[in-house]
């Protein structure tokens, strides 16, 4: 199984935009990769993409990026033994309905 991660494009490697350099800060480490852009086409420097095994799979908007970053933070917390459901997946939290509010 492969996990796709968000990366931000920092430079283009060729004039056609078929390859780019993308990076992601992971704590104090900077992860940098050469990315094949041929599935999604050329993108502007600064664009966030979802990439797996050196291949860009999709362009991310701000909302998608925030949701994925939240999920990755939850995964990191779970691995560290510090997971708290109330701190992650805010998009899934809904107020509880009481009997008086149910139809």
Residues 40-68 pLDDT 10s: 999 999 999 999 999 999 999 999 999 99
Query: What pTM value is reported for the model?
Result: 0.79
Return the structure tokens found at 77. Answer: 């917390």
Please state the domain extents for the chain.
Answer: 1-60, 61-91
In angstroms, the Cα distances linking 28 to 25, 57, 91, 102 are 7, 26, 28, 48
Residues 73-98 pLDDT 10s: 888 888 988 888 777 776 676 655 55
Q: Indicate the helix (H) or strand (E) that contains 19.
A: strand 19-26
User: SS3 for 63?
Assistant: helix
The closest alpha carbon to 55, from 74, 41, 65, 70, belongs to 41
Assigned fold of 1-60: SH3 type barrels. (2.30.30)
């Amino acid at each position: 199984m492969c996990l796709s991660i968000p990366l931000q494009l920092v430079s283009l490697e060729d004039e056609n935009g078929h390859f780019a350099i993308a990076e992601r800060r992971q704590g104090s480490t900077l992860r940098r990769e050469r990315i094949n852009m041929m599935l999604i086409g050329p993108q502007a420097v600064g664009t966030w993409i979802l990439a797996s095994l050196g291949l860009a799979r999709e362009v991310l908007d701000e909302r998608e990026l925030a949701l994925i970053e939240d999920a990755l933070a939850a995964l990191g917390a779970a691995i560290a033994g510090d997971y708290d459901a109330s701190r992650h997946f805010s998009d899934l939290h809904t107020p509880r309905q009481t009997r008086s509010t149910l139809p």
